[in-house]
């Protein structure tokens, strides 16, 4: 038996002194065998076939002594003999273990379960440690048994479950086959349950399956990398947005805001506090959204990792085991591959926080969204009074009504919107011109005088006429009934008006307000911004 450096044919150790154990190189393939085995294999021929790959090597002059010696191996054997089989590594001394890889398999010795096997006897079909191998195979007969390292143990052949003397060679590919196992031997194929079925060689089926698993593994690995990069980006963004991080973008923005308010003198301290609270609230909302995406991606990453481990383990299974689990493995791979791995886009991971200030020194995160709101209604309905309330302009209670001639434009900042309100006159001679003002409107604000009972039908007629224009098919409509006391002073005439509004063939939002007292005005602004946000797919700050 070979100890560390020996012939893999006779399993005897090479020797520098014994000519029969001299290592000879088969120049046709490069393998090395001992002189004794070369004599037996060659016989009286002028060439020798390699016992490992059947490559032919010519014997120079027909004399095996002319075959080249493996001088590198001989030199190594001499050094090992000189140093007593010990090699120095650095400052310490370490024994060379040729079977370290075999020990890592941690297979128990069949003779002594407390020992770790390193050899496999191909004749006895047993796993043996080095000591038990020497002891049990010391006789003349057993010493001739071929023993190989466990890492070179030949793959066992799979035998048919029904015909145990036959080896499984094929896999059934018949769609209508309802047999328990697709594996078949020659008997199954020609005479048994798979007779006449389509089939392929088991090696081809296993190779195809392994190739599919490798493809899934590669795809899942790429997805894992994408998810990993996304998680890193999310962590970086959360770090940038987390309060208290000195080098974070949130703190940089806070400092910019502090500098801005510092220049506005001490009377702006309260506004500064409110602004910072708004920014923190914005940051917390973003962090919550990003954290939710992070948690979802971590779940996907964990599932991908688990699937990859399962597929990697499947790649080294025996043929019958991997084919038995074929459907489960492919289903697992495909289901994991189908997991959504949507990653945040750049806008969600942008750490630079855009902000702006309105005329009343209120902080708005992001740029103002421009919106064109057209204010329509009959003359004297209170449109201009409502605009003045929106602008926070004081209204004289005894101010005489003054109909608008043409139009007025007022800009109102509310939440994260810059509303350009077009107050268009409602005189009969101007109503035919309304279409020139609302053609590019993002919202229609229509005012009805709640006290002018005699003009209710006229107001409804003009509103219906405006909204029948195809240009306004998707434009939100807010109807405000301007009435002293608001919704608390409804009567029978108002019930009729409400019925007429409900019968309109388009959707609209209805509000009550009192322009004279200013009640209900902020609710109208809230409704306008909500409608605009739905239209733009955004949310007001």
* Residue 153, annotated as binding a ligand: no
Cα–Cα distance, 390 to 370 (Å, whole number)? 17
**218 belongs to an annotated ligand binding site:** no
- Helices 326-337, 269-315: axis angle to 10 degrees equals 160
Q: Which token pair is 503?
A: 């019968």
Q: Is 384 marked within a binding site?
A: yes
For 207, the token pair is 């190779």
Closest CA to 448 of 466, 470, 469: 466
Q: Under 8 Å CB-to-CB from 420, ≥6 apart: which residues?
A: 370, 371, 372, 373, 409, 410, 411
320 in a labelled binding site: no
Q: Is 306 annotated as a binding residue?
A: no
Q: State how beta strands 56-58 and 47-49 pair.
A: antiparallel
Q: Alpha-carbon distance 160 to 188, whole Å? A: 9
* List of residues 6+ apart from 141 with CB closer than 8 A: none
Distance CA 523, CA 529 (A): 10
Which structure tokens are listed for 184?
Answer: 């078949």
Q: Quote the CA–CA distance of 370 and 172 in Å, as a whole number.
A: 68
User: Which pair of tokens denotes residue 293?
Assistant: 């995406």
What count of other Cβ atoms lies within 10 Å of the Cβ of residue 124? 15
* Residue 485 counted as an annotated binding residue: no
Q: 3-class SS at 179?
A: coil
C-alpha span between 160 and 164 (Å, rounded) = 5
Alpha helices in 263-382, H assignment, sequence order: 269-315, 319-324, 326-337, 346-349
Answer yes or no: is 383 a known binding residue: yes
Name 206's Cβ contacts closer than 8 Å, sequence gap at least 6: 319, 322, 323
**Does residue 165 have a known ligand-binding role?**
no
Residue 382 marked in a binding site: yes
Report how far residue 225's alpha carbon sits from residue 231's, in angstroms, rounded to the nearest whole number. Answer: 10
Q: Is 380 annotated as a binding residue?
A: yes
Residue 56, phi then psi, degrees to nearest 5: -85, 140
Cα dihedral: 448, 452, 454, 459 (round 10): -10
Sequence ranges of the binding site for GTP: 377-384, 426
Sequence ranges of the binding site for Mg(2+): 384, 404
Sequence ranges of the binding site: 377-384, 404, 426
């Amino acid at each position: 038996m070979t100890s560390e450096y020996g012939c893999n044919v006779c399993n005897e150790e090479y020797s520098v002194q014994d000519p029969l154990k001299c290592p000879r190189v088969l120049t046709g393939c490069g393998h090395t065998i001992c002189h004794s085995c070369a004599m037996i294999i060659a016989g009286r021929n002028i060439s020798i076939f390699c016992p490992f790959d059947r490559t032919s090597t010519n014997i120079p002059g027909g004399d095996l002594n002319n075959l080249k010696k493996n001088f590198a191996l001989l030199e190594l054997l001499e050094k090992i003999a000189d140093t007593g089989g010990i090699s120095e590594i650095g400052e310490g001394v370490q024994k060379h273990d040729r079977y370290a890889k075999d020990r890592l398999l941690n297979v128990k010795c069949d003779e002594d379960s407390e020992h770790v096997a390193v050899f496999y006897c191909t004749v006895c079909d047993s796993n043996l440690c080095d000591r038990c191998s020497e002891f049990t195979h010391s006789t003349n007969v057993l010493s001739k048994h071929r023993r190989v390292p466990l890492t070179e143990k030949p793959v066992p052949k799979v035998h048919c479950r029904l015909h145990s003397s036959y080896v499984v060679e094929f896999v059934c590919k018949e769609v209508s086959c309802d047999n328990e196992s697709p594996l078949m031997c020659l008997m199954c194929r020609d005479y048994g349950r798979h007779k006449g079925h389509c089939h392929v060689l088991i090696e081809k089926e296993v190779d195809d399956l392994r190739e599919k698993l490798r493809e899934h593994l590669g795809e899942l690995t790429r997805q894992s990398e994408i998810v990993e990069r996304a998680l890193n980006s999310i962590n970086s963004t959360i770090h940038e947005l987390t309060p208290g991080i000195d080098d974070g973008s949130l703190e940089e923005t806070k400092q910019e805001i502090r500098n801005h308010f510092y220049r506005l003198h001490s009377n702006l301290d309260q506004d500064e506090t409110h602004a910072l609270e708004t920014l923190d609230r914005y940051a917390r909302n973003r962090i919550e959204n990003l954290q939710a995406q992070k948690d979802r991606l971590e779940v996907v990453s964990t599932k991908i990792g688990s699937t990859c481990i399962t597929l990697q383990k499947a790649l080294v299974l025996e043929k019958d085991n991997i084919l038995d689990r074929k459907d489960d493995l492919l289903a697992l791979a495909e289901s994991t591959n189908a997991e959504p791995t949507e990653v945040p886009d750049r806008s969600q991971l942008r750490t630079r926080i855009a902000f702006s200030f309105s005329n009343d020194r209120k902080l708005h995160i992001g740029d103002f969204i421009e919106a064109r709101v057209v204010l329509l209604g009959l003359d004297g309905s209170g449109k201009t009074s409502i605009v003045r309330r929106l602008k926070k302009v004081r209204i004289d209670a005894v101010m005489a009504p003054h109909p608008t001639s043409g139009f007025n434009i007022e800009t109102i900042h509310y939440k994260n919107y810059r509303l350009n309100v077009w107050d268009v006159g409602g005189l009969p001679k101007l109503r035919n011109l309304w279409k020139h003002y609302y053609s590019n409107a993002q919202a229609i604000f229509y005012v009805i005088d709640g006290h002018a009972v005699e003009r209710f039908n006229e107001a409804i007629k003009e509103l219906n006429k405006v909204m029948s224009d195809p240009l306004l098919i998707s434009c939100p409509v807010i109807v405000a009934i301007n009435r002293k006391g608001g919704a608390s002073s409804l009567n029978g005439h108002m019930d009729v008006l409400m019925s007429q509004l409900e019968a309109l063939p388009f959707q609209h939002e209805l509000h009550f307000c009192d322009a004279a007292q200013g009640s209900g005005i902020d609710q109208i602004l809230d409704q306008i911004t909500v409608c605009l946000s739905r239209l733009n797919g955004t949310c007001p700050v």
